[in-house]
Chain A
Amino acid sequence: NAGVTQTPKFRVLKTGQSMTLLCAQDMNHEYMYWYRQDPGMGLRLIHYSVGEGTTAKGEVPDGYNVSRLKKQNFLLGLESAAPSQTSVYFCASSYSPVRGLAGGRGNEQFFGPGTRLTVL
């Protein structure tokens, strides 16, 4: 199993450009997440999905859109990139709460290797 994979690994954009980050998982997880990691701020949740065709906002959703057309894929889009979106982006996945320990709330998240994005 490849686990959680992310494409691309690195990207440099100019302000105003758009791009899409792809996350794929082969663990048949229902839930998927997009985080950004900034120095000293830990990980902050951008958007998440509880199943195919459903998405929801996290803590810092502004400037991002997501889509979950297939269970195994979760796309993060930047329509008009800004320098404030320079960050490292991580995708994660987990089983839903109906499976696993303690009603599923004990399920850990599995993370991808990250995408380093610089917006000039």
Chain B
Amino acid sequence: AQSVAQPEDQVNVAEGNPLTVKCTYSVSGNPYLFWYVQYPNRGLQFLLKYITGDNLVKGSYGFEAEFNKSQTSFHLKKPSALVSDSALYFCAVRDTPMNAGNMLTFGGGTRLMVKP
């Protein structure tokens, strides 16, 4: 079984400061990890993913995430936050043994608030 935890319901950061949104996962094999962002009244938008290779993955809008196998984590980061980054962020995982339907398991989401 695969599962994802996002331990923080909300993260507050000042504009211009670095931000981190935490994600930990549990899978039986090797994970494929994804980050999505949801702006108010919108669907989820894909940000980035880790499949294999370099542990630091770069994605859209200046976001990056670091895969840490020993800590089973995939934290989302950005060096300098913008007010427009304020949104709901979801981490998701897919296990390497093929599950029927290629299903993703999502975390509960973390609301990022960037203040001017």
Contacts and interface: CB of A to CB of B under 8 A. Distances in A.
A104 interface: yes
A11 interface: no
Given A102-B32, A114-B43, A41 B102 contact: no
B101 A31 contact: yes
Interface in B89-106: 90, 94, 96, 98, 100-104, 106
Interface residues of B, number: 27
B44 A90 contact: yes
Contacts of A104: 102
Interface string B28-53: 00001010100001111110010110
A60 interface: no
Interface of B: 4, 9, 32, 34, 36, 41-46, 49, 51-52, 90, 94, 96, 98, 100-104, 106-109
B52 A96 contact: no
Interface stretch (A12-20, A42-50, A67-75, A77-85): A42-50
A94 B103 contact: no
Interface string A84-113: 000000101010110001111111111111
Contacts of A108: 34, 46, 49
B49 A111 contact: no
A27 B114 CA distance: 34
A4 interface: yes
Interface of A: 4, 31, 33, 40-45, 48, 50, 56, 58, 90, 92, 94, 96-97, 101-114
Contact of B106 (A42, A102, A113): A42
Contacts of B90: 42-43
Residue with the greatest number of chain A CB neighbours at <10 A, chosen from B102, B108, B109:
B102
Contacts of A94: 102
Nearest to A50: B101
A42 B105 CA distance: 9
B102 A96 contact: yes
Contacts of B34: 108
B51 A102 contact: yes
